[in-house]
């Protein structure tokens, strides 16, 4: 049986200190909200380690600190299920590519031929009739479109030898950690908003329980313990609700919930496709990877061989004269230099292909379509690693911050001279 005097004492205490009782759920809501903001911030910032590395006293954002791992996991799904390099390359029409770079390549060929001949055989080149020089240059220029088609055909036949899609994506994201942050932040925008705001609701509910516990016990441990509980439970629950359950599930017969990231699949697919197409898998990035990536030496060897063969084929009647004038060894050296200079000019010429390549590759729509075909587990892997990595640290920090705020509550209550029963 409840003691009437004890119950009367509790009611009297609530009436006398109602401001403090009302403040408890509000402070708990603020703790929940604040710890979520801190957790989200700690995922992305700072980009570089701040503190003392030995012993490990400091912090670096979870995503920047694990950039290689984060990018590799996301890229595994990208390359395994969403995009095949061969599929992308097949969309490029060699003839359209040749047409796009025809004029800049023609200009480059003319400059290179003049430069090389004036260096190796200035007397012969100066004395040669203008018509002969024009014919020789035009023959090499006219071969350029066919040369581009031949090179693209060789690349297509063994694409893995000159292009590594995963290496390109991972290298660019690791090098540009802010871009990696932006990808996770924008793809998970809805999830981060939910996590931040959920702290208010979870914290308010826990704060109501806290107020009841304080009324019954007036224990000074109530505030820090419930503050820690608010930070820990609200962080843990919010993170779980982002990905679980995978299927819509009804709870207590009152409401239905599905992991927010799973539920937002169409919206996420659209945002992911846009970001990848505009910031990561751009034609310029792909071409840069092909022309300067870890496999570029093989490509340049291939191009140089093709260019040398084209020079021999198109030199025609002038070849014996050139060999006679400069010597066989010098002629071979000239071919090597010309091929090298063509390779040097290639990146600049390829910029003229970017507009066509962006349209032909159509990466944004391809990703949107292919993402709809992913299993739930594969789809979850696009964002889940950002939350799983060091998740316990975020929850622990939330609990610690909540505990400290709860301890401050105690001092505030003591300042208001709240007397325990």
**Cis upstream peptide for 212 (omega within 30°):** no
Instruction: State pTM to two decimals.
Output: 0.69
Position 273 in a domain: no
CB distance 340 to 304 below 8 Å: yes
What are the structure tokens assigned to 141, written together?
A: 């220029």
Position 263 in a domain: yes
Q: Are residues 57 and 22 in the same domain?
A: yes
pLDDT of amino acid 313: 65
Range ranked top by mean pLDDT from 154-158, 267-271, 292-296, 413-417: 267-271
| Residue among 406, 17, 1 at smallest CA distance from 224 | 406
Q: Does 303 or 167 have the greater pLDDT score?
A: 167
Q: Are residues 330 and 391 in the same domain?
A: no
pLDDT of amino acid 287: 79
Percentage of the chain exceeding pLDDT 70: 79
Q: Are residues 338 and 411 in the same domain?
A: no
Position 274 in a domain: no
Percentage of the chain exceeding pLDDT 90: 0
The region of weakest confidence among 18-32, 276-290, 316-330, 374-388 is 316-330
pLDDT tens digits along 359-375: 888 888 888 888 877 78
pLDDT tens digits along 301-344: 776 676 667 666 655 545 555 554 555 566 667 667 776 777 77
What are the structure tokens assigned to 87, written together?
A: 């599929």
Q: Are residues 403 and 356 in the same domain?
A: no
Q: Are residues 210 and 240 in the same domain?
A: yes
3-class DSSP state for residue 255?
Answer: strand
Q: Are residues 47 and 88 in the same domain?
A: no
The region of weakest confidence among 237-246, 298-307, 350-359 is 298-307
Position 348 in a domain: yes
Per-residue pLDDT at 4 exceeds 80: no
Position 421 in a domain: no
DSSP string, 30-83: HHHHHHHHHHHHHHH--SS-EEETTTTEEE--HHHHTHHHHHHHHHHHIIIII-
pLDDT of amino acid 420: 44
**How many folded domains does the chain comprise?**
2
* CB-neighbour burial class of residue 317 (10 A; exposed 0-12, middle 13-18, buried 19+): exposed
Position 55 in a domain: yes
User: Domain residues for 232?
Assistant: 4-70+185-267+386-415
CB distance 207 to 370 below 8 Å: no
pLDDT of amino acid 323: 52
The partner residues of 249 in beta bridges, in order of sequence, read 257
C-alpha span between 263 and 247 (Å, rounded) = 9
Per-residue pLDDT at 61 exceeds 80: yes
pLDDT of amino acid 147: 72
Q: Are residues 146 and 220 in the same domain?
A: no
pLDDT of amino acid 421: 45
pLDDT of amino acid 120: 62
Q: Are residues 21 and 66 in the same domain?
A: yes
Q: Are residues 290 and 252 in the same domain?
A: no
Position 75 in a domain: no
Q: Are residues 223 and 104 in the same domain?
A: no
Confidence of residue 124 (pLDDT cuts 50, 70, 90): low
Mean pLDDT of the chain: 76
CB distance 77 to 378 below 8 Å: yes
Q: Are residues 406 and 362 in the same domain?
A: no
pLDDT tens digits along 72-113: 776 777 777 778 888 888 888 888 887 887 787 777 777 777
In sequence order, which residues have a C-beta less than 8 Å from that of residue 97 and are 6 or more positions away?
148, 152, 353, 356, 357
Q: Are residues 136 and 200 in the same domain?
A: no
In sequence order, which residues have a C-beta less than 8 Å from that of residue 4 and are 6 or more positions away?
none
Position 279 in a domain: no
The region of weakest confidence among 1-5, 194-198, 281-285, 342-346 is 1-5
């Amino acid at each position: 049986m409840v003691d009437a005097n004890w119950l009367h004492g509790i009611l009297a205490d609530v009436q006398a200190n109602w401001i403090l009782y009302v403040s408890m759920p509000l402070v708990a809501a603020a703790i929940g909200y604040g710890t979520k903001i801190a957790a989200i911030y700690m995922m992305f910032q700072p980009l570089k380690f701040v503190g003392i590395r030995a012993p490990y006293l400091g912090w670096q954002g979870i995503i920047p600190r694990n950039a290689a791992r984060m990018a590799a996991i996301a890229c595994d799904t990208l390359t395994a299920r969403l995009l095949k390099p061969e599929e992308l390359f097949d969309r490029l029409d060699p003839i359209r590519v040749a047409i796009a770079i025809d004029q800049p390549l023609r200009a480059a060929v003319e400059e290179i031929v003049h430069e090389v001949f004036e260096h190796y055989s200035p007397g012969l080149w100066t004395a040669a009739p203008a018509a002969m020089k024009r014919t020789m240059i035009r023959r090499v220029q006219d071969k350029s479109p066919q040369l581009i088609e031949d090179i693209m055909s060789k690349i297509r036949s063994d694409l893995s030898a000159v292009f590594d899609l995963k290496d390109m994506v991972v290298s660019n994201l690791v090098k540009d950690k802010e871009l990696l942050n932006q990808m996770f932040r924008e793809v998970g925008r809805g999830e981060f908003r939910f996590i931040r705001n959920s702290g208010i609701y979870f914290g308010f509910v826990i704060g109501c329980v806290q107020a009841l516990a304080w009324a019954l016990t007036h224990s000074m441990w109530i505030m820090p313990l419930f503050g820690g509980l608010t930070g820990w439970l609200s962080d843990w629950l919010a993170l779980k609700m982002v990905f679980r359950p995978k299927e819509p599930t009804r709870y207590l017969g009152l409401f239905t919930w599905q992991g927010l990231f799973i539920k937002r699949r169409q919206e996420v697919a659209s945002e992911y496709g846009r970001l990848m197409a505009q910031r990561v898998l751009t034609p310029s990035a792909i071409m840069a990877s092909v022309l300067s990536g870890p496999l570029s030496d093989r490509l340049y060897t291939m191009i140089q061989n093709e260019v040398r063969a084209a020079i021999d084929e198109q030199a025609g009647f002038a070849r014996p004269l050139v060999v006679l004038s400069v010597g066989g060894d010098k002629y071979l050296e000239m071919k090597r230099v010309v091929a090298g200079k063509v390779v040097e000019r290639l990146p600049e010429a390829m910029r003229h292909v970017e507009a066509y390549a962006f349209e032909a590759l159509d990466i944004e729509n391809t990703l949107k379509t292919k993402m709809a075909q992913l299993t739930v587990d594969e789809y979850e892997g696009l964002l889940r690693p950002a939350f799983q990595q060091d998740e316990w640290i975020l929850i622990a920090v939330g609990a610690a911050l909540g505990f400290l705020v709860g301890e401050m509550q105690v001092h505030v209550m003591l300042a208001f001279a709240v007397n325990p029963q």
